[in-house]
Every structure is written in C-alpha cells, then in structure tokens.
Amino acid sequence: MQTGLKGKHFLCEQDWTNEELETLMDVASALKMDNLLDTHKYDELLKNKSLFMLFFEESTRTRNAFECGITQLGGHGNYLTPKATQIDHGETPQDTIEVLSRMGHGIGVRNTLVGGHAYMQKLAKYSKIPIYNMQCDLWHPTQSIADLFTIKEKFHNELKGRKFVISWTSAGNYMRPLSMAQSLITLMPRFGMDVTLAVPNKDFELMPEAMETARKNAEFYGSKFEVCNDMDAACEGADVVYAKGWGPIMAVGDDEKTGVEMINANPGWCVDSRRMSLAKNTAIYMHCMPADRGIEVTDEVADSAQSVIYDEAENRMHTIKALMALTMGNVA
Ligand code: CP
C-alpha cells in the first residue's frame, strides 16, 4: 500500500488533506476490526519501532492510546517529561530532537501552554522522524480525528448536512485550552457537517485564525459554520451535541483569575436531558473527556444511551495506531 505518508508530521488537521485523513480512517477501521476479532494480523506492523512521548502536562487517554497502540503493533513507547529529561535545564528543541531522531521512529508531544504549538514546529523543523501533536495551545488533532471516526461509525458515513454543535460549558475551576474546540470547528466542516459554535458571548469565541479557517472550510466544502449565543437554540435539531469548557481568549496565558471570573459569570451552560431533548432523537452526546460531571454534563446524559464518550475514548487508540502505522511504519 503506497500512501506517501511515511515520515509526515501531524501537528494540525489542516496539514493533512481529506484524502489522507480518509486513508487514516480506513486503516483505523481495519485495526479496530483486528482487535475486535482478535486476529492479530498487525502485531508486527511497528516491530522494533520506538515512540517517544513527551508530556508537559498529564494525560489519561492520549498517553495510554499511544502507549497501548504502539505496543499492540509490536513497538514500544518511552514516556518522557521535561523534568525527566534535560529540557527543564534549557536544552534547545534542536538538540533534543536531533538526538531523539537518531534513536527512535516517532515523537508525540503534549504542550498546551502558550507557545506549545510553536515549540512543536521548532521540533518538526529539525526532526527526521514524524512529530505528533498530542495537544497544544491551538489544536488537539489526535482527538478530533477520533471524534470524526466515531461520528462516521455512528452515522454510517452519512455526514453531509448533519448539525454538529460544539458548545462552551461553565467549567470554571481552571482555564482550559481552546485547542479542542478549534480543532472541531475547523475539521468538521471539511466532512460536510454544519457546525454551530455555541458560546455565551464574544469573549468565548475562538482565535480569529481558527474562526476564519472554519468559515473558509465551510464555504469550500459546501457546509455551514455559525456562531450562536443561546445553548438551547444551538441544541435544537442537532445530530451531535459536543460540549466542553475553555477559557476566554483575552485571558489565555495571561490572567487566570480574570478568566475564571468571566467563566463563572456565565453559569448553567451544561448538557442536561432537557437540552438533549431539543436535539434529534437520534442525536449523540460527545465529550473528549475528562468531563466535569454535574457542571459540563449531567450524569443522566453522560450515562445515557445517547452518550458515546467511551467509544470516542476507545477510538483514540485505533486512530492513533493508524496514524503511527502510516507515518512511522511499514504500511507505506
Ligand atoms: N481527551 C484527552 O486528551 O484526554 P487526556 O487529557 O486524558 O489525554
């Protein structure tokens, strides 16, 4: 199978064409089926390959999806943190990546601090092995592709004209990054979905570059992108209700206290059964997790038949395995 993807970085969804992402989805389907049937056809796909996983912040799903994924394909993952390397002592991205490139075959990085994406771009400039964005300040592409895969599964690949709602929630205990919402609004219009971004007011809109990309993608692919300041109105007729919190853009990396106060000034943005009843009766509820139960979503919704949160989490692993197989391994 010749895909031309070997060695390709995955820093942002926009770096990959729709055709390349469809190839990734096809490979993920095959790998998921292999797991379901326990056929072990791909156990040596990444034999003797090493993945470095550099985490500036904690993780449950991303770390374990990468680590289990590479193990299942015959390779292994090295867990790294700035403290456990010389990064905290000031080693430059160039020196770090030049060395790791000579030892392993891929490197994932999570760095959601302001400048996280720029750090990954510096690594990519010097890297001879593919770099995977395991979430930065701007994008969370390994989550959004798992979400796309999950939506395709749930709606049997019929995405055109589906109403996809990404709603802000009143999760105010700390400032969450914008990256998840930015990845969703830019990716979903490319696959025919009509995206509604629900926010209480302009303060919670996303970065202008992400909003502009979402608008352009909607125009190019014949879908829609709109902003709505009413969570009820946004949920009406939805096929997908995806809800999570993020900090106001003016306070990102700047003033945590102001940001939290601004979040707490907009209580009640939570997905409950009443709001789900405004959506289509075939609608699904999504969240990338970790979810703040009782604040972002009620237990009743999170544990309902409409909730696909655990499928999403599982699909992180299948799509990440496909990503690694295509870019590090012996598929291409
Ligand atoms: N959704 C997600 O990225 O989860 P983790 O923070 O647990 O990796």
For residue 214, what are the β-bridge partners?
A: none
CA dist., res. 332 & res. 240, Å (int): 34
State the average pLDDT for the chain: 95
Q: In the predicted model, is pLDDT for residue 287 greater than 70?
A: yes
Length of the chain: 332
Q: In the predicted model, is pLDDT for residue 64 greater than 80?
A: yes
For residue range 237-262, what is the model confidence (pLDDT) as tens digits? Answer: 999 999 999 999 876 666 677 888 99
Q: In 3-state terms, what secondary structure has residue 76?
A: strand
Q: Is 17 in the pocket of ligand 1 (CB under 6 A)?
A: no
Q: In the predicted model, is pLDDT for residue 59 greater than 80?
A: yes
For residue range 22-56, what is the model confidence (pLDDT) as tens digits? Answer: 999 999 999 999 999 999 999 999 999 999 999 99
Q: In the predicted model, is pLDDT for residue 18 greater than 60?
A: yes
**What number of CA atoms fall less than 13 Å from residue 100's CA on the CB side?**
31
Distance, first Cα to last Cα, the chain = 6
- Helices and strands, number each (H, E), in the chain: 12, 9
For residue range 261-277, what is the model confidence (pLDDT) as tens digits? Answer: 999 999 999 999 999 99
Q: Are 53 and 66 in contact (CB under 8 A)?
A: yes
For residue range 172-218, what is the model confidence (pLDDT) as tens digits? Answer: 777 889 999 999 999 999 999 999 999 999 999 999 999 999 999 99
Q: Looking at residue 134, what is its pLDDT?
A: 98
Q: Is 170 in the pocket of ligand 1 (CB under 6 A)?
A: no
Q: Taking residues 7-25, what's their average pLDDT?
A: 97
CA dist., res. 292 & res. 133, Å (int): 24
Q: In the predicted model, is pLDDT for residue 330 greater than 80?
A: no
Count CB neighbours of 244 within 10 A: 23
Apex CA 249: angle with CA 245 and CA 251, to 5°? 100
Question: What's the CA dihedral at 100, 102, 104, 105 to 10 degrees?
Answer: 110
Tell me the two tokens of residue 332: 């291409």
Q: Looking at residue 3, what is its pLDDT?
A: 76
Q: Is 144 in the pocket of ligand 1 (CB under 6 A)?
A: no
CA dist., res. 144 & res. 220, Å (int): 20
Q: Are 10 and 132 in contact (CB under 8 A)?
A: yes
For residue range 101-130, what is the model confidence (pLDDT) as tens digits? Answer: 999 999 999 999 999 999 999 999 999 999
Atom of ligand 1 nearest to the CA of 135: 3
To test the ligand 1 pocket, which listed residue (289, 292, 296) has its Cβ within 8 A of the most ligand atoms?
289
Atom of ligand 1 nearest to the CA of 110: 8
CA dist., res. 281 & res. 206, Å (int): 29
Q: Is 61 in the pocket of ligand 1 (CB under 6 A)?
A: yes
Q: In the predicted model, is pLDDT for residue 13 greater than 60?
A: yes
Q: Is 53 in the pocket of ligand 1 (CB under 6 A)?
A: no
DSSP letter assigned to residue 33: H
Counting residues of the chain whose pLDDT is more than 70, the rounded percentage is 97
Atom of ligand 1 nearest to the CA of 65: 8
2 pLDDT band (50/70/90 cuts)? Answer: low
DSSP letter assigned to residue 169: -
| Cis ω for the linkage preceding 290 (within 30 of 0) | yes
Whole-number Å distance, alpha carbon 259 to ligand 1 midpoint, is: 22
Q: In the predicted model, is pLDDT for residue 332 greater than 60?
A: no
Q: Is 150 in the pocket of ligand 1 (CB under 6 A)?
A: no
CA dist., res. 26 & res. 183, Å (int): 21
Atom of ligand 1 nearest to the CA of 60: 7
